[in-house]
Amino acid sequence: MEEYGVKEVNIVDIKMPFWSMVIFMVKATIAAIPAMIILTGLWFLVLAVLVSIGSMDGIFDVPN
């Protein structure tokens, strides 16, 4: 397989109509709402598991 050299790319301009950009940003914002709900649910699930593990009797008892 032939190896290719790394080339640097500089983006100078993106030609996109203003209202098309606005619609894209609105859709991205709306798509982020369910993603945040799912991530929040997963976070609470992880916290619930950690709290239940931490509250088990004797699991983290240190002798005096």
- pLDDT of the residue at 63: 62
Give the per-residue pLDDT at 14: 85
Scanning the structure block, which residue is given the tokens 């098309």?
A: 20
Q: Which DSSP string corresponds to the chain?
A: -----------------HHHHHHHHHHHHHHHHHHHHHHHHHHHHHHHHHHHHHTSTTSS----
pTM for this prediction? 0.54
Which sequence spans correspond to the domains of the chain? 18-55
pLDDT at 22: 95
Separation between Cα atoms, residue 24 and residue 27, nearest integer Å: 5
Read off the tokens for 1.
Answer: 């397989």
Torsion of CA 21, 29, 26, 24, to 10 degrees: 30
